[in-house]
């Protein structure tokens, strides 16, 4: 399993859930398509969060918000 997981939940909810389960967050961001993208420190932590959110895990393609400006 990947360390990245997309969840149909708010940033605050995901952060609180990670805290309750002692899951270390490497990166977290809001998704343009709705929900939150979470990157954990390891795949085991991602699996823990995936089990916690169950059907709220977003599968397939999501639209992310660009975090860097690319100059041409």
Domain assignment of residue 43, given as a range: 4-56
What pLDDT score does 66 carry? 75
Q: Is residue 41 part of a domain?
A: yes
Q: Is residue 45 part of a domain?
A: yes
pTM of the model: 0.85
Residue 54 · residue 8 · CB < 8 Å = no
Which run of H or E residues covers position 48?
A: helix 43-53
Q: How many domains does the structure of the chain reveal?
A: 1
Range 28-51 burial, b when 16+ CB lie within 10 A, else e: eeebeeebbbbebeeeebbebbee
Q: Give DSSP secondary structure letters for 30-47.
A: EBTTSSEEEEESSHHHHH
Q: Is residue 69 part of a domain?
A: no
pLDDT(33) > 80: yes
What pLDDT score does 65 carry? 82
Q: Is residue 64 part of a domain?
A: no
């Amino acid at each position: 399993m990947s360390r990245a997981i997309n969840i149909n939940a708010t940033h605050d909810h995901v952060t609180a859930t990670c805290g309750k389960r002692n899951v270390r967050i490497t990166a977290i961001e809001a998704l343009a398509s709705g929900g939150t993208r979470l990157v954990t420190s390891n795949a085991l932590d991602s699996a823990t969060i995936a089990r916690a959110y169950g059907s709220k895990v977003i599968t397939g393609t999501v639209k992310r918000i660009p975090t860097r400006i690319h100059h041409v």
